[in-house]
Amino acid sequence: MKFIDEAKIEVIGGDGGNGCASFRREKFRPFGGPDGGDGGTGSSIFVVADRNVNTLVDFRYSKVHTGKHGEPGRGSDCYGKGAEDIYMRMPVGTLIIDDVNGEIIADLTEHGQTELLAKGGEGGWGNIHFKSSTNRAPRQKTEGKEGERRTLRLELKVLADVGLLGMPNAGKSTFITAVSNARPKIADYPFTTLHPNLGVVRVSHEKSFVVADIPGLIEGAAEGAGLGHQFLRHLARTGLLLHIVDLSSFEANIDPVKEAKALIKELEKYDEELLNKPRWLVLNKLDVLDEAERKKRVKDMIKRLAWKGPVFEISALNREGCQELINAIYLHLEEKRHAEHRAEETAMTEEARGISSIDPDDPRFKILED
**Cα–Cα dist 80/208, whole Å:** 53
pLDDT tens, residue by residue, 180-231: 765 544 444 344 445 667 777 777 776 777 787 777 665 555 555 545 456 6
Q: Are residues 55 and 188 in the same domain?
A: no
Q: Consult the annotation and say whether 173 binds a ligand.
A: yes
Per residue in 302-336, pLDDT (tens digit) is: 888 777 888 888 887 787 888 888 888 888 888 88
Decide which of 125, 156, 187 is a domain's last residue: 156
User: What is the percentage of the chain residues whose pLDDT exceeds 90?
Assistant: 11
Nearest to 281 by CA among 316, 248, 305, 252: 305
Report, as an integer, the average pLDDT of 272-282: 81
Residue 98, domain member (yes or no):
yes
Do the annotations mark residue 172 as ligand-binding? yes
Could you give the angle at the alpha carbon of 234 between the alpha carbons of 229 and 235, nearest 5°? 90
Q: Return the SS3 of 315.
A: strand
Q: What is the pLDDT of residue 119?
A: 92
What one-character-per-residue DSSP string does 46-101 give? EEEEETT----HHHHH--EEEPPPPPPPBTTTBPPPPPPPEEEEEETTEEEEETTT
Q: Would residue 345 count as lying in a domain? A: no
**Is residue 91 part of an annotated ligand binding site?**
no
Q: Is 191 annotated as a binding residue?
A: yes
How much is the pLDDT for 364?
A: 64
| Confidence (pLDDT) at 11 | 92
Residue 85 structural domain:
6-156
Q: Among 8, 337, 279, which residue's Cα sits nearest to residue 156?
A: 8
Check whether 315 is labelled as a binding-site residue. Answer: yes
Task: Please report, for the domain that includes residue 50, its CATH number.
Answer: 2.70.210.12
Same domain, 230 and 275: yes
Same domain, yes or no: 176 and 131: no
pLDDT of residue 190: 43
> What is the pLDDT averaged over residues 88-113?
86
CB 197 within 8 A of CB 163: no
In this structure, are residues 218 and 144 in contact, taking their beta carbons and an 8 Å threshold? no
In a domain, 351, yes or no: no
Average pLDDT of the chain is: 78
Within a domain: residue 346? no
Q: Is 194 annotated as a binding residue?
A: yes
Q: Check whether 285 is labelled as a binding-site residue.
A: yes
On whether 286 is known to bind a ligand per the annotation, the reply is yes
How many domains does the structure of the chain reveal? Answer: 2
Note whether 248 and 170 are within 8 A (CB).
no
Q: Does residue 360 form part of some domain? A: no
Q: pLDDT per residue over 139-165, tens digit each?
A: 888 888 999 999 998 888 766 788 888
Annotated binding-site residue? 43: no
Please say which residue of 156, 172, 191 terminates a domain: 156
- Considering the chain, what percentage of its residues have pLDDT values greater than 70? 82
Is 284 among the annotated ligand-binding positions? yes
The pLDDT value recorded for residue 44 is 92
**Same domain? 109 vs 227:** no
Q: What pTM does this model have?
A: 0.61
Contact 21, 126 (CB under 8 A): yes
Please determine, for residue 4, whether its predicted confidence score (pLDDT) is greater than 70: no
For residue 348, being part of any structural domain is answered with no
> 276 a known binding residue?
no
Consult the annotation and say whether 195 binds a ligand.
Answer: yes
Domain annotation covers residue 359: no
Is there a domain that residue 189 lies in? Answer: yes
My answer on whether 209 and 309 are in the same domain is: yes
Ligand-binding site membership of 287 (annotated): yes
Q: Is 159 annotated as a binding-site member?
A: no
Domain final position from 100, 122, 156: 156
- Distance of alpha carbon 75 from alpha carbon 45, whole angstroms: 30
C-alpha distance from residue 40 to each of 46, 65, 129 (Å)? 18, 20, 15
Is position 132 annotated in a ligand binding site? Answer: no
Is 242 marked within a binding site? Answer: no
Assess whether 150 and 285 both reside in one domain: no
Q: Do the annotations mark residue 192 as ligand-binding?
A: yes
Same domain? 151 vs 166: no
pLDDT of 15-50, one tens digit each?
999 999 888 887 777 777 888 889 999 999 999 988
Q: Are residues 16 and 119 in the same domain?
A: yes
Q: Tell me the CATH number at 200.
A: 3.40.50.300
The 10s digit of each residue's pLDDT in 7-19 is 888 999 999 999 9
What one-character DSSP code corresponds to residue 264?
H
Same domain (yes/no): 94, 176: no
DSSP β-bridge partners for residue 369:
none
Whether residue 120 is found in the same domain as residue 149: yes
Q: Would the annotation count 216 as a binding residue? A: yes
When mean pLDDT is compared across 87-101, 152-166, 342-356, the lowest value belongs to 342-356
21 is in an annotated binding site: no
Same domain, 193 and 328: yes
Residue 215 is labelled as binding a ligand: yes
Asked if 23 and 125 sit in the same domain, the reply is yes
DSSP string, 158-169: ---SEEEE--TT
